[in-house]
């Protein structure tokens, strides 16, 4: 994740714009259907993360959906959002909170403060298994959240600044990035036994691991992001039975998303600004199409998601990090269909039929 601070000129322009007539936002729907929730990261330390609602019926966008539903702001740096059962879980990193919403209405159920002994935990990502949610925290722990009581029941120490995580073969695989110690980053994946919540081992995978994903066979894939310069970003496959790296790949990769039984492997080059989205087959362990999605209309690729509800691929575009972002929609065959204007640095979406 790359944070940019608003330049002085932009702040001045925003201040002047406050004197103009306020635009009335569309009213947030009572129930969520035929649309898309959009988590917008906002800018680091600007306290401007938002949760918006895009209505597919009339192409309207309710930018202040969360505020309408809760009468308060979302906070600083929205990092992750997932639906599990009847609830939506939103991870707000710098504010150190987890927002829990009713998945049918978007109304607030609870706000969990992620503070340990007076120090912010800085939560990053969330994954689920059974009645538990697992949340990586930048203070070097994974928090266990009971999804019934909505309380933190345990903390498991892992490596430095953990990021992505995934469950496979009764174990939790956690990428330890060490990103806050850059360039002296971590390079391991912690393996946690979900039976006793003990760390079994740490698997070396390369510098600065981030995204973690599983395939339909239970193998675990992790991306080590290198140093964004001389050390390239690479994907590795971990055998979930042996807890060892079984294969490393030579192509560039920034993130992994499930696309039926395949993966969409995305890559954004921060030096050149180039974007690429490839189609990867986990069964043959190979790239099927190196450029599956055309990216000429995408400025800064910030996320790729496939929805089996609409059978569409959604590419999130942060633009230049300081203006309204977009969601670009593609057919399952990789054909561009349309674009939606959303919020500042869109980082995650949830689709409703």
Give the predicted TM-score (pTM) of the model: 0.92
pLDDT recorded at residue 271: 85
Q: Are 43 and 5 in contact (CB under 8 A)?
A: yes
Instruction: Encode pLDDT of 49-78 as tens digits.
Output: 999 999 999 999 999 999 999 999 999 999
Going by C-alpha positions, the residue among 322, 256, 338 that lies closest to residue 41 is: 322
- Better pLDDT: 187 or 23: 187
The arithmetic mean of pLDDT across residues 291-306, rounded, is: 97
Q: How many Å apart are CA 60 and CA 145, to the nearest integer?
A: 35
pLDDT recorded at residue 8: 31
Q: Is a pLDDT exceeding 50 seen at residue 234? A: yes
Q: Is a pLDDT exceeding 60 seen at residue 15? A: no
Q: Mean of the per-residue pLDDT values for the chain?
A: 93
pLDDT recorded at residue 25: 84
Q: How many Å apart are CA 96 and CA 335, to the nearest integer?
A: 39
- In sequence order, what are the residues at sequence separation of 6 or more whose Cβ sits closer than 8 angstroms to the Cβ of residue 112? 97, 98, 99, 100, 145, 150, 152
Instruction: Encode pLDDT of 76-97 as tens digits.
Output: 999 999 999 999 999 999 999 9
Q: Is a pLDDT exceeding 50 seen at residue 14? A: no
pLDDT recorded at residue 229: 85
pLDDT recorded at residue 23: 59
The arithmetic mean of pLDDT across residues 147-152, rounded, is: 98
Q: How many Å apart are CA 292 and CA 112, to the nearest integer?
A: 40
Sorted by where each starts, the structural domains of the chain and their CATH numbers stand as: 32-352 (2.130.10.10)
């Amino acid at each position: 994740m790359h944070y940019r601070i608003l330049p002085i000129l932009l702040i001045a322009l925003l201040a002047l714009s406050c004197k103009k007539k306020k635009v009335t936002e569309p009213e947030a729907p009572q129930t969520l259907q035929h649309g898309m929730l959009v988590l917008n990261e906002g800018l680091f330390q600007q306290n401007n993360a938002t949760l918006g609602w895009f209505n597919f019926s009339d192409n309207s966008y309710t930018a202040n959906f969360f505020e309408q539903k809760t009468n308060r702001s979302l906070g600083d740096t929205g990092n992750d959002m997932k639906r599990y059962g009847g609830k939506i879980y939103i991870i707000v990193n710098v504010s150190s909170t987890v927002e829990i919403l009713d998945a049918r209405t978007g109304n607030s159920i609870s706000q969990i403060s992620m503070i340990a002994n007076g120090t912010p935990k800085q939560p990053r990502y969330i994954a689920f298994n059974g009645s538990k949610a697992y949340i990586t925290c930048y203070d070097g722990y994974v928090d266990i959240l009971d999804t019934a009581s909505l309380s933190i029941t345990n903390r498991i120490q892992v490596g430095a600044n953990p990021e992505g995580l995934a469950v496979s073969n009764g174990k939790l695989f956690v990428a330890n990035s060490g990103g806050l110690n850059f360039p002296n980053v971590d390079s391991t994946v912690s393996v946690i036994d979900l039976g006793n919540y003990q760390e079994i081992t740490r698997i070396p995978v390369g510098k600065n691991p981030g995204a973690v994903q599983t395939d339909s066979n239970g193998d675990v894939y992790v991306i080590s992001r290198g140093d964004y310069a001389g050390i390239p970003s690479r994907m590795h496959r971990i055998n979930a039975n042996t807890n060892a790296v079984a294969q490393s790949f030579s192509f560039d990769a920034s993130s992994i998303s499930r696309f039926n039984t395949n993966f969409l492997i995305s890559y954004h080059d921060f030096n050149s600004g180039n974007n690429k989205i490839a189609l990867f087959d986990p069964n043959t362990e190979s790239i099927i199409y190196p450029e599956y999605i055309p990216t000429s209309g995408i400025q800064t690729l910030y996320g790729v998601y496939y929805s089996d509800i609409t059978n569409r691929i959604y590419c999130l575009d942060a633009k230049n990090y300081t203006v309204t972002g977009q969601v670009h929609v593609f057919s399952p065959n990789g054909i561009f269909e349309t674009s939606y204007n959303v919020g500042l640095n869109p980082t995650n979406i949830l689709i409703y039929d």
